[in-house]
Amino acid sequence: MLAKSMLTKSMLAKSAFLRACRCLPTEQVPVWFMRQAGRSLPEYRELRGEGSMLETIACPEVATEITLQPVRRYGVDAAILYSDIMVPVHAIGFGVDIVPGVGPVVAQPFRTAKDLQRLRPLEPTEDTSYVLQTVTNLVAELAKLHVPLIAFAGAPFTVASYLVEGGPSRTHARTKSLMCSNPQLFCALLDRLGDLAIASISSQLTAGASAFQLFDSWVGTLTVDQYRRFVLPTSKRVFAELKQQHLDAPGIHFGVGTGELLSLLAAAGADVVGVDWRVQLNDARQRLGNNVAVQGNLDPALLLAEWPVVAKQATDVLARNKGQPGHIFNLGHGVLPETDPAILEQLVGLVHGYRYAP
């Protein structure tokens, strides 16, 4: 534990990303991209081939290389583990697959209280040992570059939406129906998934990751009252327990369409709140206050435009932060597969070279 603490302090001193997570001043704005190790990279497509994503994640050597690819190519300030939010529920045998072109698909969706028995506790050293090996590999390689690794897991609500719907959904109708018609069962489901998130992220941090992100991608489908009543208690517990176990590791909370929920995402205990492109960064700052860092928030679709358009929009995002410490440049969601990697390379250079006018 002492060696890990000393490493964390050393990394904090050298990492603009970790300093920004703590709202500390940095010489340049740190940047990384959600889904930076993804289908937009030709080297990723060549290495991944046509096999199952879950099989690729279960191969530490390949997952390590995929995670490192964007760090080498783009020079980003943080690496995020190549994995998926459904890995824990897959690992405990709930019956999840990731279908190309579709996303997570559940063979037998969650329907009744009996299905809670299918959500046994995660034992990371046994169930996801391949993830821990990948983290160990990455920490050793990234230390040479002074680049921290971000651990992650799916937030309880978002994972629950896949388990209840049986796959991706535009309306989340079954999820909302269960939530409102049987709140006791729904909250029990979130509690089980909260336990999985805590166990998964904690194991990644223990293996050497320096920060973590909780992805609540689809929570923006809820009203403020629904979020406060059904989601906030479990998300709050996830952050609280992780902070108790890993005091030095900053936590990021991210969701899509969460403009009205930003203050609640912070209230869950996040050090950093990810902001999607629907809310201007200066407005997000006002809603969150000065003690919470922000991450975002260029529209990923704009990266398909010509460079002058991308540069103008990215500069606008940077300018809206007005030089306030605690800004991590990112997209408002993940990198789209059709994105030209050369645009991302230029974007990293622009962000690193940006300086606020005195």
Instruction: Read off the pLDDT of residues 248-282 as tens digits, 9 standing for 90 and up.
Output: 999 999 999 999 999 999 999 999 999 999 999 99
- Segment 198-204 shows an average pLDDT of 98
Q: How far apart are CA 309 and CA 317, in angstroms?
A: 13
Catalytically active residues are 35, 39, 48, 84, 162
- Average pLDDT rounded to a whole number, residues 131-142: 98
Q: What is the chain's mean pLDDT, rounded?
A: 95
| For residue 29, pLDDT beyond 60 | yes
CA distance 119 to 160: 11
Backbone angle region of 253, left / alpha / beta, with phi > 0 → left and psi within -120 to 50 → alpha: beta
Q: Cβ distance 257 to 278 under 8 Å? A: yes
Taking the CA atoms of residue 84, residue 102, residue 335 and residue 40 in that order, the dihedral angle to the nearest 10 degrees is: 100
Tokens read off for 219:
């929570």
Contacts of 162 (CB under 8 A, 6+ apart): 86, 96, 103, 104, 106, 168
Which DSSP string corresponds to 164-215?
HHSS--SS-HHHHHHHHH-HHHHHHHHHHHHHHHHHHHHHHHHTT--EEEEE
C-alpha–C-alpha distance, residues 2 and 43, integer Å: 38
Write out the two tokens for 330.
């990112």
Where does the pLDDT of residue 8 fall: very low under 50, low under 70, confident under 90, or very high at 90 and above?
low
Q: Is the preceding peptide bond at 297 cis, omega within 30 degrees of 0?
A: yes
- The better pLDDT of the pair 1, 353 is held by 353
State yes or no: pLDDT of 27 exceeds 90: yes
Distance (Å, whole) CA 99 – CA 106 = 10
pLDDT of residue 2 exceeding 70: no
To the nearest 10 degrees (0 to 180), the angle between helices 307-320 and 341-353 is 40
The Cα 280–Cα 77 span in angstroms is 23
pLDDT tens per residue, range 205-243 = 999 999 999 999 999 999 999 999 999 999 999 999 999
Place of tokens 């000065």: 290
Q: Please give the average per-residue pLDDT across 304-309, as a whole number.
A: 98
Nearest residue to 215 via CA among 318, 114, 85: 85
- pLDDT of the residue at 38: 87
8 CB contacts (<8 Å, ≥6 apart)? 210, 248, 249
For residue 6, the model assigns a pLDDT of 40
Query: What pLDDT band is residue 51 in, cutting at 50, 70 and 90?
Result: confident
Phi, psi of 111 (to 5 degrees): -135, -40
Distance CA 163, CA 21 (A): 32
Strand partners, 103: 99
Give percent of the chain above pLDDT 90.
92
